[in-house]
A and B are shown apart, each in its own frame.
Chain A
């Protein structure tokens, strides 16, 4: 089928947009997510070593060929300044190997070949006589790997090859994911509890007052996120406005100032405030479309105000509750700046961990795996939601 005339023009006009979405959204997202399972660095830098290790599976030390290959490839990588790309992933699998690889790469150049690379390497660092070292190199050399996902789900591959839970004290990510989901749910419910009456007030006020109220919702919305978050710091910190007020009124003793920030309370307070407009606006737009005569009709038919609200008003606002809830929840689940600033230690969410792995530990594979799990969780919730409520009933405007 050929597209002609104005339709072709219309399609052509969307091409820049499609190109933009492809370049700025699909491509980076796809690249990042692919890092969670695909990491060719080690395999590209140590091809011969990995080939020599092929078929070896941890029984005793590998053959001399593997020692010879790594003795050749490590100095090469050092000269090409790519050694760090090997050392990082390997070190994550067995800590201490970063130093071993660096020292070996440096010293093996000065070492004369004396018949056995095996002896030479073990002479440089005794770590080379441990099979675990070679297993770590072999594992890091796999181009396709699920170990980032295993780590993100607090699982590990045991020496016997089975997959099992990590020891309790090193399970980090699954509890963090649960905490993120619960905080997002809590923030969503708080936003609904606070936003519903506000939206109703705005929707039923005379135009002049409703414009003013709407402005009061929107002005914080237009204000920088950082400004709003730091404003909460001013209010909530130990020496902040609220604590000082409570102390000066004698409600709390000076020594027992409330911990309102740098913990979960701070994360909840600031996130609810920041995300509130996303709940109020969809609710408002749905409520405005409900004629005031509906409640009058319900009353004339004998329904008391509570019955009228539950049977007539609330069901008609469900699409708005759905839209607002979905917006707030999805924004909250990926929230980063606010918890980072006011969450302290206990108020951190999964995004903060992802940011840590992207920026500080440089473990992009793990960051990508965590992001993918988050994405899958959001898509899953969305599907459940659309099955339950029907996404076509959600109204944003």
Chain B
């Protein structure tokens, strides 16, 4: 099989219900074979609709979806051969675990001995051997979701869709299952399209994350790229934490621009093609901000006043007034010599020009 060809393509896909606003607009996205792609966004941003159109439960209002280069327009879900994992597990309560897993094999007409073998393999894959005779309501939430994952894989689809599969679980279980899902995906080499609103989950599991906002993809990239090089202010604030300072670009010089923020000047990386004079948002990661008593180390250095401090174990979270902005956050790692800073102190904050990005100002 030609691995260069994308497994899934969304081409100009749009969707709306009735005459409402576009739930998804102008979606263009390609997914590689064997890729773990996460659709990340706040609720109502259209990510689940994208997944449901791929599964065949919804039809695009315009545009086209292709799987293996062939359009799936009008193909009913039961003919697509895609595994789907739902948030509420959707295990059939009137069947045993084994019955649930055998169901997709039965409707495909597979004979009993082979069916049993496949069911056992799938149970082993999710480490639930010996649960075949239980009923779904006798299992915990985490166990139910493992079974739901096994059921979506038992008929050996090469594409599995997951719609917030861990949304109903507590944090520890969620982390455990994130690891499991990633392990299974890599073991089987299947393509996974995963929907979540939890950015940590997206970062931990994915090869690539597509950040959704109001029916559009803001940026689709590997987690490191999204974190380090956000192209838009929404991504900068949605992935991790960022200080966003509104200002105006004064001058641009080889990828670095000078931005005026409340009468102060900040040097920042120039992103996109904002011209001089344009409104901008300067994004600075709190952990890249150095809080010191003495000056003279960074391109950007400003006086600041400590407003308050929270102790969070591995780091201190300091809220400062910088450049007329009183909710500027800095994270100070809890290491020897983090300095006895107290609220009300006057300090210096500094950061490198590379660590802050001048992004297009947008109405949020």
Q: Do A and B bind each other?
A: yes
Q: Which residues of A contact B (CB under 8 A)?
A: 291, 293-294, 296-305, 307-308, 311-312, 315-316
Report whether over half of chain B's contact residues are helix, strand or loop; otherwise say mixed: loop
Whether the pair B90, A297 counts as a contact (CB closer than 8 A) is yes
Whether the pair B94, A315 counts as a contact (CB closer than 8 A) is yes
The distance from the CB of A360 to the nearest CB of chain B, in whole angstroms, is 51
Given the known A-B contacts A299-B78, A302-B81, A316-B94, are A293 and B86 also in contact in the complex, defined by CB atoms under 8 Å? yes
Given the known A-B contacts A293-B90, A316-B94, are A300 and B77 also in contact in the complex, defined by CB atoms under 8 Å? yes
The distance from the CB of A54 to the nearest CB of chain B, in whole angstroms, is 66
The distance from the CB of A298 to the nearest CB of chain B, in whole angstroms, is 8
Instruction: Mark B69-110 against chain A: 1 for CB-CB distance below 8 A, else 0.
Output: 000000011101111101010101110000000011001100
Contact of B108 among A291, A293, A299, A302 (CB under 8 A): A302
Taking CB atoms and an 8 Å cut-off, the chain B residues in 41-94 that contact chain A are: 55-57, 76-78, 80-84, 86, 88, 90, 92-94
Contact of A304 among B78, B81, B86 (CB under 8 A): B78
Whether the pair B82, A300 counts as a contact (CB closer than 8 A) is yes
The answer to whether B152 has its CB under 8 Å from any CB of chain A is yes
The answer to whether B155 has its CB under 8 Å from any CB of chain A is yes
Whether the pair B152, A300 counts as a contact (CB closer than 8 A) is yes
Whether the pair B77, A307 counts as a contact (CB closer than 8 A) is no
Whether the pair B94, A300 counts as a contact (CB closer than 8 A) is no
Whether the pair A293, B78 counts as a contact (CB closer than 8 A) is no
The answer to whether B285 has its CB under 8 Å from any CB of chain A is no
| Residues of B with C-beta under 8 A to A297 | 84, 86, 90, 92
Whether the pair B90, A302 counts as a contact (CB closer than 8 A) is no
A sample of 14 more A-B contacts (CB under 8 A), given A301-B151, A311-B103, is A291-B88, A294-B92, A296-B84, A299-B78, A300-B55, A300-B82, A300-B83, A301-B152, A301-B155, A303-B103, A303-B104, A304-B76, A312-B92, A316-B94
A315 nearest in chain B by CB position: B94
A294 nearest in chain B by CB position: B90
Given the known A-B contacts A302-B81, A302-B104, A302-B155, are A296 and B57 also in contact in the complex, defined by CB atoms under 8 Å? yes
| Residues of A with C-beta under 8 A to B83 | 300-301
| Residues of B with C-beta under 8 A to A316 | 92-94
| Residues of B with C-beta under 8 A to A299 | 56-57, 76-78
Contact of A301 among B56, B76, B88, B104 (CB under 8 A): B104
Per the CB 8 Å criterion, the residue count for chain B at the interface is 24
Report whether over half of chain A's contact residues are helix, strand or loop; otherwise say mixed: helix
Given the known A-B contacts A302-B78, A302-B81, A303-B107, are A296 and B86 also in contact in the complex, defined by CB atoms under 8 Å? yes
Given the known A-B contacts A296-B57, A297-B86, A311-B103, are A303 and B92 also in contact in the complex, defined by CB atoms under 8 Å? no
Q: List the 4 closest A-B pairs by CB distance, nearest first.
A: A301-B104, A297-B90, A300-B84, A299-B77
The distance from the CB of A308 to the nearest CB of chain B, in whole angstroms, is 8
Whether the pair A296, B94 counts as a contact (CB closer than 8 A) is no
B103 nearest in chain A by CB position: A301
| Residues of A with C-beta under 8 A to B55 | 296, 300
The distance from the CB of B219 to the nearest CB of chain A, in whole angstroms, is 29
| Residues of B with C-beta under 8 A to A291 | 88, 90
Contact of B78 among A294, A300, A311, A315 (CB under 8 A): A300
A296 nearest in chain B by CB position: B57
| Residues of A with C-beta under 8 A to B56 | 299-300
Q: List 14 A-B contacts (CB under 8 A).
A: A294-B90, A296-B57, A296-B77, A297-B92, A299-B76, A299-B77, A300-B80, A301-B151, A302-B78, A302-B155, A303-B104, A304-B78, A307-B107, A316-B92
B83 nearest in chain A by CB position: A300
Contact of A293 among B77, B88, B155 (CB under 8 A): B88
Q: How far is the CA of A299 from the CA of B82 in the complex (A)?
A: 10
| Residues of A with C-beta under 8 A to B92 | 294, 297-298, 312, 316
B57 nearest in chain A by CB position: A296
The distance from the CB of B194 to the nearest CB of chain A, in whole angstroms, is 15
The distance from the CB of A168 to the nearest CB of chain B, in whole angstroms, is 49
Q: How far is the CA of A312 from the CA of B104 in the complex (A)?
A: 12
The distance from the CB of A154 to the nearest CB of chain B, in whole angstroms, is 44
B163 nearest in chain A by CB position: A293
Taking CB atoms and an 8 Å cut-off, the chain B residues in 103-120 that contact chain A are: 103-104, 107-108
Q: How far is the CA of A303 from the CA of B56 in the complex (A)?
A: 13
The distance from the CB of A39 to the nearest CB of chain B, in whole angstroms, is 52
A291 nearest in chain B by CB position: B88
B52 nearest in chain A by CB position: A296
| Residues of B with C-beta under 8 A to A294 | 90, 92
